[in-house]
């Protein structure tokens, strides 16, 4: 059962990548083309997922939304993971006052409720695509930093690190050659799990109207438009909601599988 769930999760992400590429190269114009006579048309052979209140093809907009959601998730997770890894490496390896200051800063960031920090950043910078990157990156690096620091504190006392020092290895060489490669497995696992959080935050902000702004489609703002016509156009809520659910679930399944493999290796 676990293998089947893992296979289906990978398959779902492959479908999403294909959908995003199809949306980017083939469906840009279709997803924005208004066709009022076909507004709120239920799923048919012509419109396999139906249309929205402006007559736009929902399938095309879902594919473009997949591009937005995956783009936000992978870029933001890469930035926040990279920054958290850097902070954790420096804090754990050099220790002392550097460690104390960096970890106190991480603790300070953790004290702020993420939702209110997100609202504060959006209030200052305004809603938009670039702002989403900043918001999620600001609220997503602390866990990675603390995890990497714990790994580095363990690794720096190992015999091969001592041997490298004895042979004249510099701190930068030891970090790059020994510490970082041996810390990457848990970082990668944490990044995969972070994809689901990034997608949920992006969808939530777009749903509230302070994320990705129309006419750029995202699953969140498609849901927003769907809530106004829920009684007559169920597909505008069901399809993007299902896509968000399956994507978050698949990311968690893959992340947990990688975590279990790492713990038993």
97 has a pLDDT exceeding 80: yes
Q: What six digits make up the tokens of 232?
A: 């007559």
Tell me the C-alpha to C-alpha distance, in Å, between residue 255 and each of 183, 199, 258.
16, 15, 5
pLDDT tens-digit map of 214-239: 888 989 889 888 888 888 899 999 99
Q: Are 226 and 237 in contact (CB under 8 A)?
A: yes
Mean pLDDT on 58-64: 95
The three-state secondary structure class of 100 is helix
Partner residues linked to 57 by β-bridges = 51
- Please tell me the number of Cα atoms within 13 Å of 91 on its side-chain side: 23
Phi/psi at 51 (5° precision)? -130, 165
- pTM to 2 decimal places: 0.88
* Domain extents in the chain: 2-250
> How far is CA 205 from each of CA 22, 23, 126, 201, 224, rounded to the nearest angstrom?
25, 22, 12, 6, 10
Mean pLDDT of the chain: 86
Q: Domain 2-250 belongs to what architecture?
A: Orthogonal Bundle (1.10)
Structure tokens at 247: 């994507």
Minimum mean pLDDT among 47-51, 61-65, 212-216, 243-247: which range?
Answer: 212-216
Compute the CA torsion angle 95, 105, 132, 82 (nearest 10 deg): 0
Question: CA 27 to CA 257: how far, in whole Å?
Answer: 34
Dihedral of alpha carbons 7, 10, 255, 111, sign:
negative
Q: How many CB atoms lie within 10 A of CB 63?
A: 25
Q: Express each pLDDT in 173-206 by its tens digit.
A: 888 888 888 888 888 888 888 888 888 888 888 8
Q: How far from chain centre, in Å, is Cα 133?
A: 10
């Amino acid at each position: 059962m676990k293998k089947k769930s893992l296979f289906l999760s990978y398959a779902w992400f492959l479908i999403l990548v294909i959908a995003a590429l199809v949306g980017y190269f083939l469906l840009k114009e279709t997803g924005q083309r208004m066709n009022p006579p076909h507004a709120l048309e239920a799923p048919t052979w012509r419109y396999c997922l139906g249309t929205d209140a402006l007559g736009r093809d929902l399938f095309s907009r879902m594919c473009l939304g997949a591009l937005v959601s995956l783009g936000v998730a992978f870029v933001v997770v890469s930035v926040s993971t990279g920054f958290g890894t850097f902070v954790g490496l420096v804090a754990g390896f050099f220790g002392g006052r550097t460690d104390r200051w960096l970890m106190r800063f991480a603790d300070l960031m953790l004290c702020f409720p993420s939702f209110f920090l997100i609202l504060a950043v959006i209030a200052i910078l305004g809603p938009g695509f670039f702002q989403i990157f900043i918001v999620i990156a600001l609220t997503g690096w602390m866990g990675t930093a603390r995890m990497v620091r714990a790994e580095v504190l363990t690794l720096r006392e190992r015999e091969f690190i001592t041997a490298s020092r004895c042979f004249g290895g510099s701190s930068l060489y030891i970090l790059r050659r020994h510490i970082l490669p041996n810390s990457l497995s848990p970082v990668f696992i944490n990044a995969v799990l972070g994809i689901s959080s990034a997608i949920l935050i992006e969808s939530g902000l777009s749903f509230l109207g302070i994320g990705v702004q129309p006419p750029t489609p995202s699953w969140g703002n498609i849901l927003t438009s769907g809530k106004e016509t829920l009684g007559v156009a169920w597909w505008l809520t069901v399809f993007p909601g299902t896509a968000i659910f399956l994507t978050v679930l698949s990311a968690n399944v893959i992340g947990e599988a990688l975590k279990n493999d790492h713990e038993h290796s």
